Structure 1
């Protein structure tokens, strides 16, 4: 099954009508889930806007489009009625010079300066001139006796990614956190342009390194939709194999960071060992610890390097060891005390935002692209319903990850059984036309949640590619989860989100 072609609702419409229609479709308990808002440079300086929605139960995306003329790059902001658009509209302002009138805070998000000469306009040949970083005053919203700001980052100890958290506090409580991402921004959308689909998938794998397979899948699904390609069954199975290994490695990494924050040295070492075993197994299967080079437009580059029988045995041993240590950690009172009630994300807020992945599932949102809009081999495997824990705190997010690890090992066992009965050397891929032209979206359920790609091809080359990671969609919720928490809770909350700053600062 290939990723279905999104449908377009209505075509270009007046800006106010377009905005109101997006807000109307998302409003209410049965409203569509807001998945993203993207810009594209059109002819003569105009900017196109595309809002991607997923109506409940729909197998494909609903896309609402409008175009802003070059002399009026403004529209009524969605954010007052649709808070999930908050960061998306800031990106439009940064990269396209679009002004969402009425937006509550148009601070720079991806670019540190407000200068039209630096606007890169993804989708055109224009590139920004060299940018000389300038330190600006730290923005501050809280006032009162004893309130001060702790600039946490962008350079921190260890190998933590560069991000600046501005913690406004009277001493111990955390009433407000601001996030500044621009230290990590790399202009990824521009890096896609002009490449063939086969070359562009190499860029997709590097958008968010810890979710290389998920990004490659979402990109290839979009390209395959443009071509109407039917991926071979063997390739679909191999894609699931590497996607689930990636999920297990990511969830183990979250547990490494949680146990380290709690000072559990033995547990930290054990989960670090298990993560390393998963990465080494992935490397033995394809030559890359991160599964890079496996997924290509039309299928996969080849079958796993290990025979199915040996792979099944190794996965079984790994499953037993991981589940045993996970159970030990989740029955350790001193560890549970640091998770329980920490960093709660309110259920209603999570639903209104359309929170993705373990963060959403831990707050009562069960969205999972593998189940809702199946791709590759997922529609033929016994996936089971996604876990939902209404607690919304660090404990709930950790329990969701434990459930997903067990689920991944069950899926891996099914895939190995299928690979055993395949004929020798089945075709791993189909070839896409070299002059492919079209526009489509593609998605995959990464370890952090739904990864979404909007792709436009022109004569076989990328004219526009807008990747949206779950990290970008979810990280804005980090502002919302510190009610009642103190500074020593910060590392637990950050680790429990399990997000990538590189993936957010696209």
Structure 2
């Protein structure tokens, strides 16, 4: 992993933007932007996804600096990251198109205190419930949808500006889910940190644990034993299947297809019960530890194979029936279109990006654990860019996951039971970067360790990255399409507002 440290002088910030933009023009992808308080000042770190790694670029704002030239005009994917920095660190991205509050609910009081940041005390001010308008005209009104919504939907507030049916403007306010996760990591050791990582985004517990463990292992220079790599991949793919089935269930429910909703809900439940029998947790928690895994699966390989065969034989015919139901497909086709050029500009991740023609997948481009040791055919990206494509990509990935799991189970059946499942990994001081391909897309962890304790841990979920482009998919759509577009993105709000 290379690390390019850029000049700290503000006069060179335009050079920084140019250099980052040049890298993106050459094919790299903007992956994240974060801040860290240091003795020298606020260190900003941009992460770029290259063909084989995640590369950090650092620059420091000297003490007392309150602004820096915004990256967003040249790098649209930085839009939400700079709003997050503004909320958490009080630093302004000069030239940013709209620095609305994002992570914290802030009032419009010009004398408001600088909000807290990782490494310093902080407090949350009550929201003033101001509904500013970005669209003006006769008959326009704003619908504040959320943060408490019907059913078991996660807390989030959508501000929908509409003349009645069309949605010319949609904004997202996620602060209701903010839990101070980054601060909670501070002072933890590796063993405790992985437990918190599993709970950052519950539906992607395995992926977050993997990304955290990969960061720890990068610091210690350790690679887990092969059996552990296989078991990790097994649980990651089971998590993928469960999440993709949940999206299918929610889309069927939005269309009022009661039988399909029940069928996919039952398939998802069977997957979760299988995971529970394998490790004792329906979410795969407790499996991944830095250096390997905690234990072998509790079921014999032949039993896992039989369960997976039964699952696949039930899921795939139902998927085919659903995708051939004209009343359902009519609701998805040309709905929530995310144009390929826009997806590229924002570096859309996971099924959302692949449904718009992007092929980046950490399991292939930056493989980890057993992904580069197995033979499989990754799902082919689509170019129709709509909700239908996003669902089809997920069904394709379920098929791929079944193929991967079959290979893993075959290898586990021939494995020597005495083979170690974990290697000792010291919690070395320094900075490590870890990643994993969650069902929603790439999860990143930037981990800084000092004296054997976490000094700074910044998780970045695919949900945070992809939700930034969610509002761009409503051109030509109406209010009744909202549920389909939201479900097709398959995001977790807990992964957005940490």
Give the TM-score normalised by the residue count of structure 2: 0.97
**Residue 127 in structure 1 maps to residue 121 in structure 2:** yes
- SS for the counterpart of 2:447 is strand
Q: Is the 8 A contact 1:370 1:444 kept in 2?
A: yes
Residue 2 of structure 2: aligned partner = 7
**Residues 247-258 of structure 1 mapped to structure 2, 5 A cutoff:** 247-258=240-251
RMSD: 1.4
Shift in CA distance, 222/281, structure 1 to aligned 2, threshold 3 Å: same
Measured in 2, the distance between the counterparts of 1:466 and 1:7 equals 19
Q: Is the 8 A contact 1:344 1:393 kept in 2?
A: yes
- Superposition deviation, residue 156 in structure 1: 0.6
**Residue 225 in structure 1 maps to residue 218 in structure 2:** yes
- SS for the counterpart of 1:432 is coil
Q: Is the 8 A contact 2:89 2:114 kept in 1?
A: no
Residue 148 of structure 1: aligned partner = 141
Residue 43 of structure 1: aligned partner = 39
- Worse-superposed segment, 281-290 or 15-24: 15-24
**Residue 188 in structure 1 maps to residue 184 in structure 2:** no
Shift in CA distance, 357/29, structure 1 to aligned 2, threshold 3 Å: same
Match of 1:490 among 460, 474, 482: 482
Residue 404 of structure 1: aligned partner = 397
- SS for the counterpart of 1:476 is helix
Q: Is the 8 A contact 1:369 1:445 kept in 2?
A: yes
- Superposition deviation, residue 218 in structure 1: 0.3
- Worse-superposed segment, 26-35 or 492-501: 26-35
Measured in 2, the distance between the counterparts of 1:20 and 1:128 equals 33
Q: Is the 8 A contact 1:261 1:492 kept in 2?
A: yes
Please list the CA deviations of residues 153-208 of structure 1 after superposition, one character each: whole Å capped at 9, or x if unmatched.
11111000000000100010111100001011111100100000110011100110
Measured in 1, the distance between the counterparts of 2:14 and 2:235 equals 39
Shift in CA distance, 318/19, structure 1 to aligned 2, threshold 3 Å: farther
Shift in CA distance, 302/22, structure 1 to aligned 2, threshold 3 Å: farther
Residue 311 of structure 1: aligned partner = 304
Q: Is the 8 A contact 2:13 2:68 kept in 1?
A: no
Residue 93 of structure 1: aligned partner = 86
- Superposition deviation, residue 127 in structure 1: 1.9
Structure 2: gaps (5+ residues): none
- Superposition deviation, residue 19 in structure 1: 4.8
Residue 280 of structure 2: aligned partner = 287
Measured in 2, the distance between the counterparts of 1:187 and 1:238 equals 31
Measured in 2, the distance between the counterparts of 1:15 and 1:246 equals 44
**Residues 354-503 of structure 1 mapped to structure 2, 5 A cutoff:** 354-433=347-426, 436-503=428-495
- Superposition deviation, residue 117 in structure 1: 4.3
Q: Is the 8 A contact 1:47 1:73 kept in 2?
A: no
Q: Is the 8 A contact 1:26 1:34 kept in 2?
A: no
- Superposition deviation, residue 300 in structure 1: 0.5
Q: Is the 8 A contact 1:312 1:413 kept in 2?
A: yes
**Residue 347 in structure 1 maps to residue 347 in structure 2:** no
Measured in 2, the distance between the counterparts of 1:308 and 1:202 equals 27
- Superposition deviation, residue 7 in structure 1: 1.1
Measured in 2, the distance between the counterparts of 1:16 and 1:408 equals 49
Please list the CA deviations of residues 111-145 of structure 1 after superposition, one character each: whole Å capped at 9, or x if unmatched.
112676462221x2x2224x352323112101101
- SS for the counterpart of 1:411 is helix
Measured in 1, the distance between the counterparts of 2:122 and 2:5 equals 34
Q: Is the 8 A contact 1:204 1:212 kept in 2?
A: yes
Deviating above 2 A after TM superposition, structure 1's stretches of 4 or more consecutive aligned residues are 10-31, 114-120, 383-386
Give the TM-score normalised by the residue count of structure 1: 0.95
Match of 1:32 among 24, 28, 31: 28
Structure 1: gaps (5+ residues): 1-5
Shift in CA distance, 262/41, structure 1 to aligned 2, threshold 3 Å: same
Match of 1:17 among 3, 12, 23: 12
**Residue 505 in structure 1 maps to residue 497 in structure 2:** yes
- Worse-superposed segment, 107-116 or 346-355: 107-116
Shift in CA distance, 222/19, structure 1 to aligned 2, threshold 3 Å: farther
Q: Is the 8 A contact 2:254 2:484 kept in 1?
A: yes
Q: Is the 8 A contact 2:249 2:265 kept in 1?
A: yes
Measured in 1, the distance between the counterparts of 2:340 and 2:395 equals 20
Please list the CA deviations of residues 273-305 of structure 1 after superposition, one character each: whole Å capped at 9, or x if unmatched.
000000000000000000001000111111100
Shift in CA distance, 327/457, structure 1 to aligned 2, threshold 3 Å: same
Measured in 2, the distance between the counterparts of 1:18 and 1:424 equals 56
- Worse-superposed segment, 381-390 or 221-230: 381-390
- Superposition deviation, residue 414 in structure 1: 0.7
Residue 3 of structure 1: aligned partner = none
- Superposition deviation, residue 18 in structure 1: 4.2
Please list the CA deviations of residues 301-357 of structure 1 after superposition, one character each: whole Å capped at 9, or x if unmatched.
111000101111111110110001111101111001001000100000101111100
Q: Is the 8 A contact 2:105 2:125 kept in 1?
A: no
Q: Is the 8 A contact 1:97 1:116 kept in 2?
A: no
* Number of residue pairs aligned between Structure 1 and Structure 2: 494
Measured in 1, the distance between the counterparts of 2:82 and 2:18 equals 14
- Superposition deviation, residue 257 in structure 1: 0.4
